[in-house]
Amino acid sequence: MSAANSANTPELMDEDEPFFSNLDILLFSLIAGLLVYWLVFRKKVEPIPEFKKLDAQTTRETSFIDKMKKTGKNIVVFYGSQTGTAEEFSNRLSKDAHRYGMKGMSADPEEYDMSELSRLPEIENSLAIFCMATYGEGDPTDNSQDFYDWLQEGDADFTGVKYTVFSLGNKTYEHYNAMGKYVDKRLAELGAQRIFDLGMGDDDGNLEEDFVSWREQFWPAVCEHFGVEATGEESSIRQYELKVHSDLNMNKIYTGEVGRLKSFENQKPPFDSKNPFLAPVSVNRKLNKAGDRHLMHLELDITGSKIRYESGDHVAVYPINDSVIVNRIGEVLGVDLDTVISLNNLDEESNKKHPFPCPSTYRTALTHYLDITNPPRTNVLYELAQYATEPKEQENMRKMASSSPEGKVRSPALLNILAILEDLPSLRPPIDHLCELLPRLQARYYSIASSSKVHPNSIHICAVVVEYETKTGRVNKGVTTNWLKSKMPTDNGHKATVPMYIRKSQFRLPFKSTNPVIMVGPGTGIAPFMGFVQERGWLKEQGKEVGETVLYYGCRHKNEDFLYQEELEEFEKTGVLTALNVAFSRDQAEKVYVQHLLKKSKEAVWRLVHTDNAHIYICGDARNMARDVQNAFYEIAEELGGLSRAQAVDYIKKLMTKGRYSQDVWS
């Protein structure tokens, strides 16, 4: 009898007939077996992990207007900063506000919803200040890129918004202060009211001086506009309070990490500015054969890091300060540098809880986090002056901190903080206040001297060790290059490492390998072109058609500092380099530079540029070389293109716009 029939037939079963048929038992066993298997052997469903850190970031307050209202602030100072200077100026302006009965906050535009700027008039006597640095070829800094894009695309109404801009740039660059100028102009176009003229800081001159002069005129204008008066409070305002830790677990203390605690012990990709990779140094050799300078070639091993780079990119390196200077600061101030401390922001609402990773020791702070070798800025001198017990020394420091002609004369040109402490015996500031005031030690950038096509697991650096004597007879050493010089690969199990990450660049070989390239890079400006030439050689090996590859290189003496001579001559011999033109500036009575060689081969240069669509690349010194080379191209365009000077300038500008004239320069 089937199960279906039994369900529909109410008659009693025969006693000899089994209660379950064989099929029922089989089905029952199968179901029971599956149930047991599911209960015992099933893979437990993993709960979705809670990313608390991510939650913390996503719930972070993105409304600077709400934050200002909550904390009673009426001035917001936004900064677009690449190396930390604009951020430093922003902090100084926000601290200044209290002297005029106002309250300011410094803000990173990347962390806030900038469309809220239109709501600023909701706050009485409100003002937005922008400290904007220009980076590269007139570009915004990384942290102001989104704000810049939004300003370009947006059509916000900033009626009633009051603002001013201080821009940071360098006159030797083509697009001087482009970002500051753009923000100043664009805010006015969108209806905002400029209450003080655009400030222009020139890093080729004296950026600090430019800022102080602008600031001294800016605040009286603010007072006049809002009808407020200076409170007369000239006393130092502490932004952070000191907490000394006596029994903290060593695993909770920062020892030089930039972001995540113990990130140097437990390395996890992706690697970036907040999470650098500790790259072992595999090669460190001197490049020059003679002379009093030290030019070096380093190779960093990035095996297993998942780091990718392209020819023309930059490698950023986090240096550490000289332990001799660090120890001497501790001695002069009579401090135990191994004291574990935290500097905690007195403004609990601030996104910046500490001036550097805390808790840490004074030794770690002075070694890894603080800039102790550059001359201190005027605000640091001014705030430290109060600790000089000798009235004359205090007066001298205040004068050095002012923008008066006398202050400029007395200014401690090229004196670092240790030299100032040694020269002024009565100046003994509390070390925690000194640590609060000193700027952060910044990463240094180098053009990568290799191609990832040829060296996928290695990044090459070409650099000159900086060392010079000051007017006071002291020897100043470049922090990073002297530190790198000491980084020798070792075979005793302990490898020298360098914290690094990659910064992408627009300095790129042409998309079409058939396009000719003209590279001009004297001295260490050869770096990116070593990568370019390696890559063109690799393309040839792959059977690709490669256009002419022409290099103009310059150094002092052929037998002294002709960098990569053997490699370059080999590239020329094998045809990878179509032409290797080298200017030895001091090997003859009259100095010969790369621009002279360009003009010497002007017909070939003009043919490559005008007829063959060549891409031009310049790398090295911005102050003289890049300008002189550009002038050489103007002259060639005038002479062989039959153009007027104005037309020649316009011709080269058009090449820049098309991405056919690129510069990777520094001053």
Q: Which residues are annotated as a binding site for FMN?
A: 81-86, 133-136, 168-177, 203
Binding site: what residues are annotated? 81-86, 133-136, 168-177, 203, 293, 444-447, 462-464, 468, 478-481, 524, 585-586, 591-595, 628, 666
Q: With beta carbons less than 8 A apart as the criterion, state whether 301 and 456 touch.
A: no
- What is the CB neighbour count within 10 angstroms for residue 265? 10
Q: Are 329 and 372 spatial neighbours (Cβ–Cβ below 8 Å)? A: yes
Sign of the alpha-carbon dihedral angle for 267, 269, 273, 275: negative
Q: From CA 201, how far away is CA 141, in angstroms rounded?
A: 16
Give the CA-trace dihedral at 143, 144, 146, 151, to 10 degrees: 170
Annotated active-site residue in 144, 167, 447, 451: 447
- The annotated binding site for NADP(+) is made up of 293, 524, 585-586, 591-595, 628
Query: H/E element holding 92?
Result: helix 85-96
Tokens of 457: 């697991």
Q: CA-CA distance, 420 to 375, in Å (whole number)?
A: 9
Long-range contacts, 468-477 (Cβ 8 Å, 24+) = 470/413, 470/414, 470/415, 471/413, 471/414, 472/414, 472/415, 472/419, 474/415, 474/419, 476/373, 476/414, 476/416, 477/322, 477/373
Q: How far is 512 from 500, CA to CA, in rounded Å?
A: 31
Alpha helices in 176-281 (DSSP H): 178-189, 207-226
Question: In a 10 Å sphere around its CB, with 0-12 CB exposed, 13-18 middle and 19+ buried, how is residue 655 labelled?
Answer: middle
**The one-letter amino acid at 409:** V
131 is catalytic: no
Q: Strands, DSSP E only, in 429-568?
A: 444-447, 458-464, 467-469, 475-477, 497-503, 517-520, 549-555
The span from the CA of 167 to the CA of 654, in Å, is 26
Close Cβ partners of 190 (under 8 Å, ≥ 6 residues apart): 151, 154, 155, 156, 157, 158
Q: Per DSSP, what are the bridge partners of residue 464?
A: 295
In sequence order, the 6+-apart residues with CB closer than 8 A to the CB of 309 are: 315, 448, 452, 459, 502
Q: How far apart are CA 516 and CA 510, in angstroms?
A: 8
Query: Do the beta carbons of residue 74 and residue 64 sit within 8 Å?
Result: no
Give 272's DSSP letter: B
Q: How far is the C-alpha of 88 from the C-alpha of 378, rounded, in Å? A: 12
d(CA 553, CA 524): 10
Backbone phi, psi, residue 130, to 5°: -120, 120
From residue 398, give the alpha-carbon distance in Å to each of 85, 151, 393, 595. 22, 40, 9, 46
Short-list 421, 249, 232, 393, CA closest to 326: 421
Q: Which of 150, 538, 606, 666 is catalytic?
A: 666
Does residue 447 have an active-site annotation? yes
Q: Side-chain half-sphere of 566: how many Cα atoms within 13 Å?
A: 3
CB 476 within 8 Å of CB 470: yes
Annotated binding site for FAD: 444-447, 462-464, 468, 478-481, 666
- DSSP 8-state class, residue 616: E
Cβ neighbours of residue 458 under 8 Å, at least 6 residues apart?
Answer: 282, 299, 300, 301, 302, 450
Does the active-site annotation cover 619?
A: yes
Residues with catalytic roles: 447, 619, 664, 666
